[in-house]
Amino acid sequence: MPISSDVLTQFNHLEKAGALDALGDLRKENRELERIITEATLLVSYTDVSSMLDYVIARFLDHFIPEFLGFLVHPPRGDALRQYCYRNLKETDETIPEQYYDLLKNYFERTPGRISFEQLVETFGKDTFGKDILTLNPEMVFPMFGIGGLYGIVFLGKKIVGGAYSELEQKYVDRIIRFLSVSMQNGLHYESSITEPKTGLFTHDYFVRRLDEAIARTKRKNTGAGILMLDVDHFKRFNDSWGHVTGDLVLVTLAGVLAHIVREEDCAARFGGEEFSILVADCSPVDLMMIAERIRNAVASIRIPAPDGSQELSVTVSIGARVIESTPGMTSLILIGDADKALYRSKNEGRNRSTLYHQGLLMRAMMKASK
C-alpha cells in the first residue's frame, strides 16, 4: 500500500524537529528501566552480602570494567567499618582510607546523590584528600542510604576502556547502587541477628537450625558430615588469674582461629560461655578428626599478652566429635549430646585432646583409624 504524501511530510517534520531521536532515546531508556527492574528483583532475593556484591559485579561486567570499585560500609552493630574493594572487578586487598568516611557522610546527608570526585576536590579543597585516596584514582562517589539514613559510601574508578562514563551508565550505576543499598542493609541486619556480638561467630540457635538441615540432607542424600564441640580448658581459673578482659580476648582470638580454619560451607558458632560448636559439611570420620586436631593445635599456639606485660599467656581446648549419620530418629539434640559426651571424655582423659564419639565396633575402628 503506497504511503501518502501527508504521512511523508509529517515524518520529515518530526525528523527535522528531533522528535524521532527523542523517541529513540525514550525507547532506549525504557529498555534500561525494564532491565534494572529485572536485576533489582534478583538482587533483593539474596540474603547475604557477598552474594549481593557478586551479583552486582557480574552486572557491571555486562556494561563496563572500572579500574577500582570500593564499598565503605558501617554495619548496624559495632563501630568498625567494613570494606569490600575490587581492582578490575576482582577482589583486592586495597583499602579506602577510613578517615574520609565521616567527611563524605556529612556531605551526602546534606547533598544526596552521586558526585564526581573532581567536584568533591573542588568543594573541599585540593589539600583535603591525600595520596592515600588519590592513588585509588576514583572517578565518582555514590552514597548508600538505608533505613535511618546514610550507612555507606561507594567509590567508582575510571573505566579501563571506553573513555568517560556516559550519562546512561552513570544513571545505571546510581540505580543499581540504590537497590543494593536497601538489600545490603537488610543483609547486614539479618547477619547481625544470627551472629554473636562478642566473637562474630554464629549463634547457638542458628547453629541448631543448620544442624537440622544437615541431618535432613544426610538422610536424603546419604552424605557425610559431623559436628565438633570445643571447650576452653580451665577457663574459670584463667579468668580468676588474669581477669575477664583478658579472658574475653582469648575468646575473640579463638573465634578468629575457628573462622580462619572452617570452610564457607561449614558453620562455627559460640555455643555459650567458653564452649564453641562447629558443623563440618561433607566429611568422613577421619576428616572430622583431622579438622579437630588442626583446630586444637592452632588454639594451643595462641599467645595472649598478660595485662601487666610480664609474659605471654596460652590456653588449650578439649574437643568432642560426632559423625552425623542417617540413622532413623537422629536429631540435633542427640548429636549435640553425643558430642558433649566425647568432649567430657577428652576432659577426663587429661584435656587438650580430641575424642570421636563411637558406639559399636565400627565406630571404634573409625576412631582408631583417625589417630
pLDDT in tens, 278-314: 999 999 999 999 999 999 999 999 999 999 888 999 9
Domain boundaries, the chain: 1-43, 46-194, 204-370
DSSP designation for 129:
S
The CATH number of domain 204-370 is 3.30.70.270: yes
Kindly compute the dihedral angle of the four CA atoms of residues 127, 131, 133, 135, in this order, to the nearest 10 degrees.
Answer: 140
Q: Which CATH class is domain 46-194?
A: alpha beta
d(CA 118, CA 115) in angstroms, rounded, equals 8
Give CA 314 to chain center in angstroms: 30
Contacts of 36 (CB under 8 A, 6+ apart): 172, 175, 176, 179
Per residue in 223-274, pLDDT (tens digit) is 889 999 999 999 999 999 999 999 999 999 999 999 999 998 999 999 989 9
This prediction's pTM: 0.73
DSSP designation for 233:
T
Residue 152 pairs in a beta bridge with 73, 144
On average, the pLDDT of the chain sits at 88
Confidence of residue 220 (pLDDT cuts 50, 70, 90): confident
Please count the other Cβ atoms lying within 10 Å of the Cβ belonging to residue 215: 20
Give CA 25 to chain center in angstroms: 39
DSSP string, 174-215: HHHHHHHHHHHHHHHHHHHHHB-TTT-PBPHHHHHHHHHHHH
Confidence of residue 87 (pLDDT cuts 50, 70, 90): very high
Residue 279 pairs in a beta bridge with 227, 267
Confidence of residue 63 (pLDDT cuts 50, 70, 90): confident
Q: Which of 23-32, 61-70, 304-313 has the lowest mean pLDDT?
A: 23-32
The pLDDT assigned to 13 comes to: 57
